[in-house]
Structure formats: structure tokens, C-alpha cells
A and B are shown apart, each in its own frame.
Chain A
Amino acid sequence: KLRSPRVSIEQIKNLHNRFTYLTQDEDTLRREHLENISNLALNPIRRQIIEAFFDKRNMGEKEKGCLQEIGFEEFVTVLSFFRPPKPRTADEEMKNVKKEKLRFLFNMHDTDKDGIITLDEYRRVVEELLSSYETIGAETAKAISDAAMLEVASVTVGQMGPDEFYEGITFEQFMQILKDVEIETKMNIHFWNLDTRTMQCGK
């Protein structure tokens, strides 16, 4: 049930080695396995990253919810979101690639899985980003997330009466505000392009 057949055998083998290393030779990957990675402990958004691996929405299923453990297939599925698009991709397909990647990001923010990023969820994102700096208070994070939310609302919805309530960022609005960031070229891991022998030079 791999998302796309373009992955090469070599890459699958490398990933499988890594999978077995992480799970210490067990069959399925659980959250604790990922939490044991020492480098990941320093990452401010590690919780969201780990959750993304267990999120059913990223597995191409229509259902929502979390899994408690995943197999190798799901591991590769999640990692394949970070595959760079092929050089001669048509514009239409590029848009799809972009949409998929943005969807992954969106799911990471939308923790209660209701399809909308509410102000609270966004605030939590900002707080986590700033969590590695001890001196930052909660109000600053609130201010920044409020500003950001306001900006999204202003850009996407525009005119809103004073009584209306802006529920949160929907996926379409999310795509709209991030359309300039060029996700399809940035959200890639070089891992997919190399086997371990070649040198990397630049992105």
C-alpha cells in the first residue's frame, strides 16, 4: 500500500535497516522507540513529529485517529512525504505534490483532527517553537500567534462582521497563506536522492 511506486529498492533497504535499528528488531514501531533517539530530544517540536508518524490521516486512510504502533509500511509512507518531486514534473502534478506536503503540515498542527486549526492549536505551535528559550513568557507566544491568526483571517476572509467568529484556519486557507513558501522544494530530505556513497553538495 505504498503511496507511490517510484521508490527504489536501495532506498527501501536503507530504510528497513533504519527501521529495525530503531525498533531494536521488533516488528512494529512505537512512540517510545522514536523518543529514544537522542538527537530528537533537543528538537522543540518533537512531540508533533512523533505524533505525525502515528496519525491515521497521513496513511491515506479516510478515518481519523491515532495508531499505537506502526509497521514498516506506514513508516515509509510517512517518510515519503519528504520526497523531492521529480525534475520534469508537470505543473499539475507539482500542485498535487505541494498539496500533499501541505496537508501533512496541516495535520501536524490540527491536533484535535477536526480539519481546522484553531487559535489554541496555533498558539501551542508557537509556544513549542519558542519552548527552547526559557525566558519567553506565555504572553509573547500568545501575541505572536494572535498576530499570525489575524493575518490569516485578514488575508483569506477579508471582510468580516463584528459578530462573526472566525473558527480557524481551514486547509484551503492554509494553502493560500503558504503558497509563497515553495513547500514542494523546501520540504524534502536529501536522503531520498542518495545512496550512502555519493557526496552531497548543496540542496
Chain B
Amino acid sequence: MELKMFILVLGLLVGTSSPDMGTNHGKSPDSHNHGPQNQGNHTQSKKPFPVLSLGYDHVRLPFEISLWVLLASLMKLGFHLIPRLSSIVPESCLLIVVGLLVGGLIKLVGEIPPVLESKIFFLYLLPPIILDAGYFLPIRQFTENLGTILMFAVVGTLWNAFFVGGLLYGVCQLEGHRLVTVDLLSCLLFGSIISAVDPVAVLAVFEEIHINELLHILVFGESLLNDAVTVVLYHLFEEYSSVGSITVMDVFLGIVCFLVVSLGGIVVGAIYGILAAFTSRFTSHTRVIEPLFVFVYSYMAYLSAEVFHLSGIMALIACGAVMRPYVEANISHKSHTTIKYFLKMWSSVSDTLIFIFLGVSTVAGPHEWNWTFVMATLIFCLVARVLGVVGLTFVINKFRIIKLTSKDQFIIAYGGLRGAIAFSLVYLLKTEHFPMRNMFLTAIITVIFFTVFVQGMTIRPLVDLLAVKKKQETKRSINEEIHTQFLDHLLTGIEDICGHYGHHHWKDKLNRFNKKYVKKCLIAGERSKEPQLIAFYHKMEMKQAIELVESGGGAKLPSALPSTVSMQNIQPKKPPQDRALPQLSKAREEEIRKILRTNLQRTRQRLRSYNRHTLVADPYEDGWNELLIKRKKMMELEKKISQMNNYLTVPAPPPDSPTIARARLASDPQAWGLKSVTESIPTIKVDLASPQSPESVNVVDEFGKKGSQSKASKEEEGGLTMKVPSPTKQRKDKTADEDNDKEPQQRLMRCLSDPGPTAEEEDEDEAFLP
């Protein structure tokens, strides 16, 4: 099925890229599809009215673009449907192959395949990928390793550029006849283009191998930050290669230019980021366009930086990283999801298109193959990368607390993939200034193919072979969050005691500045005063609530640890009170039974509300244990009360998430407690303040009474049948049919022994929505 679609789309593409199609007009040159209006076409002979005509030209461009996008997306779909392919070959490789095929097909038809134009690449295809990376950049790891990343990005790229450029020049001179015309500056230019690690390729490959966060951020951060270096070197060498020489002054200016380019880019990005954050403060009434601000401001940051030839990538990263904490505090949850998914979607499409076009351009582009040059380039690139990484790590490890091991170094070196940015930069070179441009192009494509195919395919088995630490998928728990914050403050305090103005000291100062001034400006309303811990806690609860709703409200959450711990296990207890059951007169029993019945009815209809202030563990297991004990007590009661009907029906609470569990406890923390029965039983009151409220009813009685409700009461309650869950020991026998019975009732069940609404419960109902 996919194959058929693929062929169809291919056919369309091939067809549309041939210019002949454009001339298949209808009768009149400016016919529209909806209603031909033959204004300028008065001829003597009357032509029949064109019912259906073809006017392809004016939709040509969007039509072709859409077809390409469609092709890219269908390819992506197709790959994942073939089970084993996507686990062996990374997607980028497959896409390049597809591009090659498409390019080949187009060439076969006799047309010129479209090439990845640099303008399209830099203005439309690259920004979404970079914005996606920048917006979701893990700031904490990034800043912790900033020094290392900068070293690799700046010094590493410089080393690579000069090493490759210089050695290539030497090879060219040695080789003689054809290559001797390549001068030093061209070689250096070529070296600087090819030495930059490409973020697109790195993302594409690293995303699939789930490597640990440190390595990921090192390689990825390097690929982002080396853009400034590349930009400066590129412009420097391009400018002066026509002149033919460089003076020391130029080098000095180059360094200044580098600082301007990188810092300027960051400043531009930060300004736009702050603007975006500020704008988002006022969007509470127009939630729908919130994502638009994020996208447009970021794109403007990129374009503004490009206007001044600053580093657009760094501007984009800075913009995304700066605006994110404030924007996320201001926008609605749906907008947040929208932003996330739009960014992922765009970057995915861009990524796919880039690789396909790489393939197509390979078929198309003018090539000039020169064995010496290409092979030399390849070897020098690899060698330079390895030497650079090893050398730099040696220096960096002197300053790092967590040293980089040789395994880490290998992955960093191996992960230095080249990609489409290099290709586009070479493509921008004009043949007049650079007669060897085609040779450069061929060499770059070879290197790109090599890195993407060979390194991309083998990195996954190598990672497994070397047992490199993988990314841990653990969810962040509230304990970890508390202790991470605690550690931050502790380390800051120790630094203050030592009198050492280190990393933590400055981070703390920045946080304080942020809290005092920046947050007030950029975050709307009360959220500006919310400490991080509370925000985290809310987010966690929200997530659990959503999970609960999505799972249908009743199903057991797979991640929940079966635990019977509940709040009462934690609350400090008063010494256990006397649990003896008093003797009750028959009349009294009747009264109690009636009260219990009415309360139970009422509570069954209430849906538990969420309350973030009280907590409960999984009530399902809780319920089982409780009921086990209660059953024992019930047996005793049975002896006193005649004609006990054991089919009572206690609605077993569904095994639900901690939040719902929490919610339940909200109304009844003492439900699970065995309390002493006093004379003043009739009301079942929940008193949250004191865990052992002497007024709370002995729930056992409740069950006991319910047990004594005969079938009559069951009918009364409209046929809600609930079964007594059998004690856990005997559960195995009955589990089968009870589970079946419980299924349909789970939705009703939130109210095991909810003793009834009290004033406090009403409060809790409101407390949830912030």
C-alpha cells in the first residue's frame, strides 16, 4: 500500500518537475478553475465553453513544495512500518537513499533535479530544527558543561579547520598537476567549512541511540556553538581568498569579529526572547495565538541576526532558552502542548526534507571527482577529529570534576558528523572565484555520506558494545527535586563559608536577581511569586491527573507501585485506643444502619475531587487490606446480628493513581483507620486535623451494618451490586469472577467508605483549581 503511494507520488514529482507540464493549459491563457472568464480572448470563431481546463502554472510552486513535503512524510511513515529496517539503519541514511533514488528517477526522465538551494536551506529548513533544539535545551546540563562545550566548539573547530586545510594544501602541492592551482586560502576555506560538526545530523543520529545526557549535551552543544566560528572563518577566508593573502591585522580583526558575531547573536536572541516573554504576559485573554508569538519572535531573532551577519543559530538558541521559563509560566497548558508539537513537527519535516534533498543534489550537482583530494579530505577529517578530541579532553579534564573517560572521548569523536550545513556553504561559493568548487562539492558530499552512513549506522552497535551509559528514563520524583534544591543551597552556603566565589555562588546570585526583578516583569500575576518547588509539585500533580483521566479513570496505572502505604502509616499516631466493640442494642443498630445507608447512597453519587493538599496511597490495595480486617470483625458481628447477608456490596475502589487516591483520602483519611467506637456514633465525621478523631465511626461497624442489609436494601439502591471482596488469602479463588464483576462498576466507585460530605470536603473541592 505504501509502495503504491510512494510510486504515485514519485510519478507526480517526476512529472511536475518537467517544464512541459506547465504548458498544458486550457483554451485560454488565464483560465481559472472556477469559472472560466474569457475576458481577453475574443476571437472571431466561437470556441466551445471550457467546462474543465487545466491551469497548472499558477499553483506550480506551492504544489511542488507540498508534493515534496508529502513525499518526505510518507517516507518517514514507510520506514517505521518496515520493522527491522529502522532499528539497523538510522533514518537519515534511508532518507538520503530515497533522495538518491528520486534524483536518479528525475534525471532518467531527462529533467534537471532540483538542488538544495542555500537560500531555502538557511531561511526555511534550518530554523525550525534549531528552534526545536534551543527551546528544549536542557539548561542545567548545558550551563554545567558550558566550559567544555565552548572548548570543543571554538578551539576544536579551529584546530580541525587549520589541520585539514593546511594538510590538504600540502597534499595539493605534492600531488602536482591538477591540484597545484588550489591555493592555501581556498584550502583553509574548505577546511573551515568541513570542520564544523552539524547539528542536524547529530540530532538525527543521536536521537535514536538514547545516549546519556552528558555526552548528548556535549556533542550537541558543540554542534550548535561552532556556528559562530564557522561563520567567521567562512567570511574571513571568502573575503580574502580573492586578495590572496592575509595579514596579522586581518587575523586580529577576525578574532574581534568572532566575538562580535557570537555575542551579538546571543544578545539579539536574548532581546527577542525577553520581548516574547513580556508579550506572553498579556495573552491570558487570547490563548489561541500564544504559540504564534513564540514562533514569530524566534524567527525574527534568526532573521535579524542574519541581517547583520551575526550567528543566526546562536540567536535562535538564546531566544528559545531565554523565553522558555517565562513563557511556560504564562501560557496555558494547551498552548504549551501546541508549541511542543508544532516544533517537533516542523523540525521533523525539515530534517526529512534536508536529507532527501541531499540525496537529490548528489545526483544533480556538478561533480568533479579527484581521488587524491577526496580521500585525503576524508582521512584528514577523521584524524583531525580524533586528535582534537583527545588533546582537548586532556586539557579539559584538568578543570572538570567529572572527568571524561576514554569511552566518552571515543563517542564524542565518533559523533562528529558532518551534514547539510557544510554542503550548503560550499554550494554558496561561486565558481568564478573558486574554480575548484565542484571538487570541493564532491569531497564534501563524500565526507557527509561517509559520516552519516558509516558512522551513523555503526554508532548504535558501538554504543552497545562499549556499554556506554544510556539515558535514564526515570521520572523525576519529588524527593529528588527537594534534595536537588537543598543541595544547591547547601553548596552555595559552603562556598560562602569558604569564601570561594564559585559556580554555585553566581548561580545563586542569578537566581535571586531573576526572582526579584525579572520574574515580576515577565510573568503574569501570582505565578511570578511561585517557587520552583511548588511549580514542580503542581506540574507533577497535573501530570498524574491527566494520566488518570486519559486512562479512563478506573484502570490500574501500570507504573504505580503496588503499595499499601497510606497517609495514616505516616502520621504520628496517638497510642492505639481501645478497639473493643461495645454491645449495641437492636434499636441503636437500626438507627446506625439507616444512617450508614443514607450516607453511603449520597457518597456514591459524588465524584471524588482532587485535592492537592492531602494525600493517599493506592486505595485498591488499601481497600483490600482494610476489608480483610473488617471482614474478620464482621464475622464477629455476625454472631451478634442475626441473618447476616454476606453479599454486601462494598464497592471496591478502583486501583487508581496516587492522585485519585489522594483525592479519596481528601475526604476520608480516617476511612482506613480502625477507630474506637464511642457512644456518640451516629455521625460519620471526618476531621482532617487530628488523625484519630474520637468521633469518627468505626468503619467496621459500617461494614457490619452494611452486611446486615438484606437484599431488600440492595434493591432499594437500585440494584447496585457490589460484592464483598474476599480476604486476600482466599482471594485467589475468587479473583476471577470478582474482577469480572468489578469492571463495570469501577466507574462508580470512588467512594468506598466515604463517610459523607462535610464542610471540609466542600472546601477541598474548590482548592484544587489554582
Q: Which A residues are within 8 Å of any B CB, using their own CB? A: 15, 18, 21-22, 34, 37, 39-40, 42-46, 49, 79, 82, 84, 87, 105, 108, 118-120, 125-126, 129-130, 132-133, 135-136, 139-140, 142-144, 146-155, 157-166, 177-178, 180-181, 183, 185-191, 193, 198-203
Q: A43-B496, A45-B490, A177-B479 are in contact. Are A130 and B534 (CB under 8 A)?
A: yes
Chain A residue nearest in CB terms to B143:
A202
- Interface assignment of B561: CB less than 8 Å from any CB of chain A: yes
Beyond A43-B492, A185-B401, 20 additional pairs, beta carbon < 8 A: A45-B490, A105-B487, A125-B482, A129-B482, A142-B613, A144-B533, A146-B615, A150-B617, A153-B565, A177-B480, A180-B472, A181-B480, A186-B487, A187-B491, A189-B494, A190-B503, A191-B502, A202-B144, A203-B145, A203-B401
Q: In the complex, what's the smallest C-beta–C-beta distance from A193 to chain B, in angstroms?
A: 7
Q: Name the residue in A45, A144, A166, A188 with the highest tally of chain B Cβ atoms < 10 Å from its Cβ.
A: A144
Shortest 8 CB-CB distances between A and B: which pairs? A201-B147, A202-B147, A154-B563, A87-B403, A39-B496, A49-B493, A153-B565, A191-B500
Partner of A119, one of B571, B658, B674: B571
- A203 contacts B478, CB within 8 Å? no
State whether A188 and B499 are in contact (beta carbons under 8 Å apart), knowing that A82-B494, A158-B565, A160-B569 are contacts in the complex.
no
Task: Please tell me which stretch of B80-88, B98-106, B310-318, B622-630 contacts chain A, meaning at least 4 of its Cβ atoms lie within 8 angstroms of it.
Answer: B622-630
C-alpha spacing A82/B502, complex, angstroms: 13
Contacts of B303 in A (CB 8 A): none
Q: Does the CB pair A129–B491 fall under 8 Å?
A: no
Q: Measured between alpha carbons, how far is A150 from B500 in the docked complex, in Å?
A: 38
Contact A164 B503 (CB under 8 A): no
Interface string of B225-252 (1 = CB under 8 A from A): 0000000000000000000000000000
* Contacting pair B493 A162 (CB below 8 A): no
Using Cβ atoms and an 8 Å threshold, which residues of chain B touch A125?
482, 486
Contacting pair B533 A152 (CB below 8 A): no
Q: Nearest Cβ in chain A — how far from B470, in angstroms?
A: 14
Alpha-carbon separation in the docked complex, A129 to B615 (Å): 21
In the assembled complex, the CB of B537 is this many whole angstroms from the nearest CB of chain A, namely: 5
| Secondary structure of the A contact surface, majority rule | helix
Q: A130-B531, A202-B400 are in contact. Are A162 and B625 (CB under 8 A)?
A: yes
Which residues of chain A have C-beta atoms less than 8 A from B19's C-beta?
Answer: none
Q: Closest chain A residue to B492 by CB distance?
A: A43
- In the complex, 29 of the A-B residue pairs with CB atoms within 8 angstroms, ordered by the A residue number, are A49-B497, A87-B397, A119-B572, A129-B489, A136-B531, A136-B534, A139-B613, A143-B537, A144-B478, A151-B477, A153-B563, A155-B563, A158-B563, A159-B564, A160-B563, A161-B564, A177-B477, A178-B479, A178-B480, A180-B472, A189-B494, A189-B495, A190-B502, A200-B503, A201-B150, A202-B145, A202-B148, A202-B399, A203-B503
- Nearest-neighbour CB distance to chain A for B729, whole angstroms, equals 14
B615 near A150 with CB under 8 A, answer: yes
Q: Of the candidates B486, B500, B534, B564, which one forms a contact with A189 in the assembled complex, judged by CB atoms under 8 Å apart?
A: B500
B206, CB-defined interface residue at 8 Å: no
Report yes or no: B482 in contact with A189, Cβ–Cβ below 8 A: no
In the complex, the answer to whether B496 meets A37 with C-beta atoms within 8 Å is: yes
Q: Say yes or no: A201 contacts B564, CB within 8 Å.
A: no
Nearest-Cβ distance from residue B210 to partner chain A, whole angstroms: 16
Q: Does B483 contact A (CB under 8 A)?
A: yes
Contact B629–A162 (Cβ < 8 Å): yes
Least distance between B315 CB and chain A CB atoms (Å): 23
A184 CA / B498 CA spacing, docked (Å): 20
B contact residues around A15 at 8 Å (CB): 498
Of B147, B572, B625, the contact of A161 (CB 8 Å cutoff)? B625
With A119-B570, A166-B570 already in contact, the answer to whether A129 and B496 are too (CB < 8 A) is no
B146 at the binding interface (Cβ < 8 Å):
yes
- B:612-654 near A, CB below 8 Å: 612-615, 617, 621-622, 625-626, 629
Beyond A144-B534, A146-B615, is A166–B480 a contact (Cβ under 8 Å)? no
A203 touches B402 (CB 8 A): yes
Taken together as a complex, chains A and B put the C-alpha atoms of A178 and B472 apart, in Å, by 14
Set of chain B residues within 8 Å of A186, measured between Cβ atoms:
487
Over the window 127-155 of chain B, the binary record of Cβ atoms lying under 8 Å from chain A Cβ atoms (1 yes, 0 no) is 00000000000000000111110110000
